[in-house]
Structure 1
Amino acid sequence: MKVTRSIIWMVAASVLLVIAGCSNSDFQGNMDVEMEDFSHVNQDNKKVSLKDLKGKVWVADLIFTNCRTVCPPMTKNMAELQKRVKEEGIKDTHFVSFSVDPKNDTPKKLKQYISYYNADEKTWDLLTGYDEKYIRDFAEKNFQTLAVPEPDSDQVMHGTSFYLIDKTGTIVKSYNGNEDVPFDEIVLDIKQLTEE
């Protein structure tokens, strides 16, 4: 009787381990910020809102077209991430770049900018149509980073992270977006969140 009870306990423990191994509970986030509502225009001059992205996992960053330092490598890295997500067959993943220089970044300029990066624009929106104060406050509140004009310059200082947003519109994780981008980790995290 004792042996049978021990075997039942061992089988039950094994089943629980297998179930735990198959779940997505091992996702480790480093942020927990509910995105504030927004509605802006993209590179095709079409409205894109937080509501449009609900139910999708998406990755966001901050860029501007006149950037002479970090934005070109960040955009190249985002295009590479988009490609890897597609190769993995992960569905319902979106990419969003918020312009930190909305005064100059018209939809037309954003359209031209993204054309250099071999990106799939069906799943990538570059947003503008707000003012500088808005994006400064938006970046600080949502992404907990800066988006401020550089003194005596036409450049803007801003964060260089990629931000992972879950299906509910909550920012759950940030990663290096400029150098040493952890592509495999981001793809795995996206996969886990899309399967939840």
Structure 2
Amino acid sequence: MFKKTQAHVLVYLLVALVALGLGFAGYKAFMAPKPLQLINTFPKLNPLAPFNAQNHRAESVTEKDFIGHWSIVFFGFTTCPDICPTTMMDMNQVQKGLDQKFQQDTQFVFISVDPERDTVEKLASYVPAFNPEFIGLTMDLKQTRAVTKNLGVAFMKTPSHDGNPDNYLVDHTARWFIVDPLGRRFALINPADALGKDLVQLVIDDYQNLRQQARLN
């Protein structure tokens, strides 16, 4: 009888150990970082280049205003016929689709690559039309070039076919950039990598996974 009891206890212990092992493995799998589908983090986190800009409310903004917030940044220009308005609408949907805790500490920033035409007044009518919480920035050409070079953005004027020098377009990098609360270039989003998938949902899922991982590290 005693031997049978010992055998039963041993079986129960083995079952408990197996269950504990499976539970721990499941917990590790649940807590493991989820792979990002669209967002790519930078191996080196460079700080933003110093700048002095004006936002669409005519308030002074510097690189220090990025500290303390997560920021999703896009470079464009207000007379852009297609990519910029499409991107701004996508960013609006991303902002509205984020969990509230991420909405509260994430700012969406539009930086002009056409400072000659994009005045504060133009930004004031353009940026809030997509989302009243978005921030529009403009700075002089020299500073614009410094900031774009620092983040990895290219832009150049493309003359119009009508011969009017004021009707130029601006070719520019269409990627979005994520700046962390320490004011560093943290990650980029290349919309072209969505490859026909739901870009907005991919960005929402990836960004929230990224933020969750940043909290765990």
Which TM bucket (shorter chain)?
A: 0.7 to 0.9
**For residues 16 and 34 of structure 1, do their structure 2 counterparts lie closer, same or farther at Cα, with a shift above 3 Å needed?**
farther
Report SS of the residue matched to 1:34. Answer: coil
Letter in 1 for 2:154: L
Q: Deviations over 1:32-86 (max 9, x none)?
A: 142423442110111233332223222111111122232221222222222222x
Q: Which of these residues, 23, 36, 41, is aligned with residue 14 of structure 1?
A: 23
Q: Partner of 1:98 in structure 2?
A: 111
Per the TM alignment, residue 185 of structure 1 is displaced from its structure 2 partner at its CA by: 1.9
Would you say the 8 A contact 1:58–1:94 is kept in 2?
A: yes
Task: Provide structure 1 residue ranges, at least 5 long, that are not aligned to the other structure.
Answer: none
Superposition deviation, residue 159 in structure 1: 1.2
RMSD: 2.8
Name which of 91, 95, 102 aligns with 1:82: 95
Q: Secondary structure at the residue paired with 2:49?
A: coil
- Which residue number in structure 2 is paired with residue 47 of structure 1? 60
| Residue 136 (structure 1) aligns with | 145
Give the aligned residue type for 1:11: L
* 1:66 equivalent in structure 2: 79
Percent identity for Structure 1 against Structure 2: 21
Distance 1:166 1:2, change over 3 A: farther
8 Å Cα contact 1:35-1:171 kept in structure 2? no
Counterparts in 2 of 1:194 and 1:46: CA distance versus 1, 3 Å: farther
Q: What is aligned with 2:3?
A: none
Contact 2:94 2:201 in 1 (8 A): no
User: Which protein is richer in helix relative to its size?
Assistant: 2
Which 5+ residue runs of structure 2 have no aligned equivalent? Answer: 1-9, 161-166
**Matched-pair contact (CA < 8 Å) for 2:74–2:110:** yes
Tell me: CA distance 1:43–1:7, structure 2 relative to 1, closer, same or farther (3 Å).
same
Q: Does 1:184 align with 2:201?
A: yes
Q: How many residues are matched?
A: 187
Which of structure 1's runs of 4+ aligned residues deviate more than 6 A?
none
SS in 2 for 1:30: strand
TM, length-normalised to structure 2: 0.72
Amino acid at match of 1:127: L
User: Which of the residues 127, 136, 146 maps onto 1:126?
Assistant: 136
Write the letter of the residue equivalent to 1:188. Answer: D
Residues in 1 aligned to 2:83 and 2:111: alpha-carbon distance in whole angstroms: 14
Instruction: Specify the structure having the higher radius of gyration (Cα).
Output: 2
Instruction: Go from structure 1 to structure 2 and tell me whether the alpha carbon gap of 1:41 and 1:20 turns closer, same or farther (over 3 Å shift).
Output: farther
Distance in 2, Cα, partners of 1:92 & 1:31: 19
Per-residue deviation, 1:12: 3.9
8 A Cα contact 2:77 2:114, kept in partner? yes
Provide the C-alpha distance between the structure 2 equivalents of 1:116 and 1:21, rounded to a whole number of angstroms.
40
Q: 1:34 aligns with which of 18, 41, 46?
A: 46
Pick which of 5-14 and 53-62 moved more: 5-14
Point out the more displaced range, 52-61 or 31-40: 31-40
Distance in 2 (CA, whole Å) between partners of 1:14 and 1:191 is 26
Contact 1:41 1:107 in 2 (8 A): yes
